[in-house]
Chains A and B, each alone.
Chain A
Amino acid sequence: MNFLMWNIFLALAWAALSGGFSLLNLLLGFAMGFAILLFVGPALGNSNYFDKVGKALGFALFFVKELVAANLRVAYDVITPRYNMKPGIVAVPLDAKTDAEITILANLITLTPGTLSLDLSDDRRVLYVHAMYLGDPEALRREIKDGFERRVLELLR
């Protein structure tokens, strides 16, 4: 994450030199710093920083999309008189190992409506998730593992 520090430093330098710490100016500085790092990067050593910036942006978009879509689904169930839901608790096996990975993954699962992480087994191998719309438990497991976990791990490792 050394490159991230460089990028932030360049953004601050740009803001200081152009004399305005407005948000737009900082963002502009960040973008230009990124462009500079793209050129100078090989001289500073190898890094997957550029991949990660792209992935982080992609992940943010994916997360917002999931958040809004799933919120609307729960909203529909809240305001219509009949319950369409089929709640259940599913055990999801984890590939995430460290505290940070598991915490971020569990928080993201809780924040997408329809799923709520209840508890982690003491050997940290399985996360128990309460789901509101549980058709096929295998499908949900796959969805969490291929959607969230894969992306979180790509970003953190």
Chain B
Amino acid sequence: MKEWITALLMLSGASFMLLAAIGLVRMPDMYTRMQPATKAATLGAGCMLLAVAVHFGSVGVTMRALAGIVFLILTAPVAAHMIGRAAYVLGVPQWEGTHLDELKGRYDTHTHRLSSGAEDEGAEQTN
């Protein structure tokens, strides 16, 4: 029973990582590449760590595996967020299928301050 759960977790973890790798090659632009690269990879690594925890079944290993998962969940999105933001500020081109960009024009090109658009509405009303 335990072997089956371990095997299932390892296989699904490896499949998600493979999908992340294929997605990285296949997706058309920077932003869509970030998508599989962050989450499928996180989910894959999480499944692997769970498999390790189930296989050994001791508190020490389980705690370390859980800590690993927590750190992955905390750090992977932050890295993705920074890379995505840097790409947008540098003007990395988007795929031609991108059909909506509400971020456009919201960055100050010099200070990189980002407006919410709400103060623009206020300014329009006063004008």
Interface residues of A (CB under 8 A from B): 21-23, 26, 67-68, 70-71, 74-75, 78-79, 83, 85-91, 93, 106-107, 110-114, 116-123, 125-126, 128, 130, 132, 134, 137
Measured between alpha carbons, how far is A107 from B57 in the docked complex, in Å? 29
Q: Does B74 contact A (CB under 8 A)?
A: yes
B59, A74: Cβ atoms under 8 Å? no
Q: Which residues of B contact A88 (CB under 8 A)?
A: 98-102
Secondary structure of the A side of the interface?
mixed
Alpha-carbon separation in the docked complex, A112 to B74 (Å): 13
Evaluate contact between A67 and B95: CB separation under 8 angstroms: no
Beyond contacts A67-B39, A75-B19, A79-B19: 7 other A-B pairs, Cβ-Cβ < 8 A, are: A78-B36, A111-B73, A111-B76, A116-B35, A116-B81, A118-B103, A121-B117
Interface check B52, CB cutoff 8 A: no
Is the CB of B6 closer than 8 A to any CB of chain A? no
Given contacts A87-B31, A126-B116, A126-B118, contact A117 B77 (CB under 8 A): yes
